């Protein structure tokens, strides 16, 4: 087995134990392997080990990998911040976009999603820590943004995404806040089914609070070079 295949086994075991500890079915949690900065060969190794969902942050790098890897069986998630000048490529080449924080970006993605593709899956990103430096909309703005995004014809709003700061005392606290917000929004939009939260260091805390999609890079592919 390759190191990547071994790491995938370990990460899947972590997800399964965290799910069981929370009284949840492991199959209800999707693993997105975050392959940013990694070569296409690493994505292929993970794919050979049964991994289907991949997350990328940098558009040009991602497009190069998408072009050389066989499309069927792979799902590409864009998890980085979205600027207006990237929306066309995202709409044309990705299956999911996790970082929606403004309606204008969502409108562009909807308008630019090609007719021959199914609606683009999206998540609204929430700045759950309310830090000025952080991406995402403020929690109190999320319900209205979700309602507006859900109405766009070529997008399928799936749920919320967040990247909380690590908290020593109560690691589950930000994920709990995210879940409470999600439950509130689902009263109006019951079709939402995705909480995209949890990374290499905090996936257990996220799963304990209901995450349905964890985005894991380092624990699968090893540590990244500093950008």
Ligand X SMILES: *Cc1c(COP(=O)(O)O)cnc(C)c1O
Least Å from the CB of residue 118 to ligand X: 23
* Size of interface with ligand X, in residues (CB under 6 A): 13
Please give the Cα distance from 64 to 38 (Å, whole number).
11
Confirm or reject binding of residue 177 to ligand X (CB under 6 A): no
Both tokens assigned to 40: 């296409």
Count CB atoms within 10 A of the CB of residue 26.
Answer: 15
**Considering only residues 38-77, where is the footprint of ligand X by CB under 6 A?**
57
Q: Which residue number, 8 or 154, has a Cβ lying nearer to ligand X?
A: 8
Confirm or reject binding of residue 215 to ligand X (CB under 6 A): yes
In angstroms, what is the C-alpha Rg of the chain? 17
**Considering only residues 1-20, where is the footprint of ligand X by CB under 6 A?**
none
Least Å from the CB of residue 151 to ligand X: 26
Among 11, 18, 163, 192, binds ligand X (CB under 6 A): 163
Please give the Cα distance from 84 to 215 (Å, whole number).
24
Please give the Cα distance from 182 to 159 (Å, whole number).
7
Confirm or reject binding of residue 79 to ligand X (CB under 6 A): yes
Among 4, 19, 34, 207, binds ligand X (CB under 6 A): 34
Q: Which residue number, 84 or 218, has a Cβ lying nearer to ligand X?
A: 218
At residue 106, the 3 state secondary structure works out as helix
Both tokens assigned to 59: 């558009």
Confirm or reject binding of residue 216 to ligand X (CB under 6 A): yes
Among 107, 112, 177, 200, binds ligand X (CB under 6 A): 200
Please give the Cα distance from 135 to 55 (Å, whole number).
17
Ranked by CB distance to ligand X, the top (closest) residue is: 217
Q: Which residue number, 174 or 217, has a Cβ lying nearer to ligand X?
A: 217
Alpha helices in the chain (DSSP H): 3-21, 40-48, 59-68, 87-93, 103-112, 142-150, 173-188, 203-208, 218-221
Binding stretches for ligand X (CB under 6 A): 34, 36, 57, 79, 163, 199-201, 215-219
């Amino acid at each position: 087995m390759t190191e990547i295949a071994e790491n995938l086994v370990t990460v899947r075991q972590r997800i399964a134990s965290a799910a069981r500890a929370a009284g949840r079915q492991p199959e209800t949690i999707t693993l997105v392997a975050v392959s940013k900065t990694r070569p296409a060969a690493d994505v292929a190794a993970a794919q050979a080990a049964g991994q289907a969902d991949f997350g990328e942050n940098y558009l040009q790098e991602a497009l190069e990998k998408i072009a050389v890897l066989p499309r069927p069986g792979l799902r590409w998630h864009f998890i980085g911040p979205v600027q207006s000048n990237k929306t066309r490529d995202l709409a044309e080449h990705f299956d999911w976009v996790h970082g929606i924080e403004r309606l204008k970006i969502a409108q562009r993605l909807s308008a630019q999603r090609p007719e021959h593709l199914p609606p683009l899956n999206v998540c609204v990103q929430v700045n759950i820590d309310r830090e000025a430096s952080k991406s995402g909309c403020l929690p109190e703005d999320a319900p209205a943004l979700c309602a507006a995004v859900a109405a766009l014809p070529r997008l399928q709003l799936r749920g919320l995404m967040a990247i909380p700061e690590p908290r020593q005392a109560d690691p589950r606290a930000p994920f709990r806040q995210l879940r409470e917000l999600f439950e509130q929004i689902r009263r109006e939009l019951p079709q939402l089914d995705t909480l995209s939260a949890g990374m290499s260091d905090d996936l257990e805390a996220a799963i304990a609070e209901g995450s349905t999609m964890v985005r894991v890079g380092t624990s699968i592919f090893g540590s990244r070079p500093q950008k």
